[in-house]
């Protein structure tokens, strides 16, 4: 009987710990202050943010080909680029990943955000493009 009670208490503790981990994941996934994320699916969208508010744009790419996502057009008086990053979840040479751009509203106004997938040393049209209209209030 004592072993049975110990097993039940042990299982209850595991359930509480696992439940707490799930709750922590749920809270941290999109908590207050987390920037909204836009992907290629939102190309052409119009969004509105407050001054000081941030959002991210995440686009797939593969820099081993020489191509990368670059900011082509942006009114820096209205919107600033806070951070750019590239990340691959693979250790395989030549595998792709995602480019992430974080933008923050600087002052009231409207601007086009245009990103081009291109080689930085070539002065030709990008092979892919992404754009959204951002109004900062």
Spatial distance between the Cα atoms of 119 and 39, rounded to a whole number of angstroms = 21
Residues 55/49, Cβ–Cβ less than 8 Å: yes
Q: Using an 8 Å Cβ cutoff, are 41 and 57 in contact?
A: no
Q: Given a cut of 80, is residue 59 above it in pLDDT? A: yes
This prediction has a pTM of 0.72
Show the CA angle centred on residue 103, arms to residues 107 and 48, nearest 5°: 60
Question: Mean pLDDT of all residues in the chain?
Answer: 80
Number of alpha carbons in the 13 Å side-chain half-sphere of residue 108: 1
User: Which tens digit of pLDDT belongs to each residue from 66-124?
Assistant: 999 999 999 999 999 999 999 998 888 889 999 999 999 999 999 999 999 999 999 99
- Residue of 39 and 8 predicted with greater confidence: 39
Contact 57, 87 (CB under 8 A): no
């Amino acid at each position: 009987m004592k072993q049975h009670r110990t097993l039940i208490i042990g299982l209850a503790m595991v359930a509480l710990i696992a439940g707490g981990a799930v709750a922590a994941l749920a809270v941290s996934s999109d908590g207050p202050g987390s920037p909204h994320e836009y992907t290629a699916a939102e190309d052409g969208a119009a969004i509105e943010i407050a001054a000081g508010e941030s959002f991210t744009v995440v686009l797939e790419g593969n820099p081993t080909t020489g191509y990368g996502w670059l900011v082509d057009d942006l009114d820096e008086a209205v919107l600033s680029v806070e951070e750019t990053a590239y990340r691959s979840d693979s250790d395989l040479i030549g595998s792709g990943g995602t480019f992430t751009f974080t933008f923050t509203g600087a002052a009231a106004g409207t601007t086009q955000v245009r990103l081009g997938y291109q080689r930085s040393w070539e002065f030709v049209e990008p092979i892919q493009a992404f754009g959204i209209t951002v109004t900062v209030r």
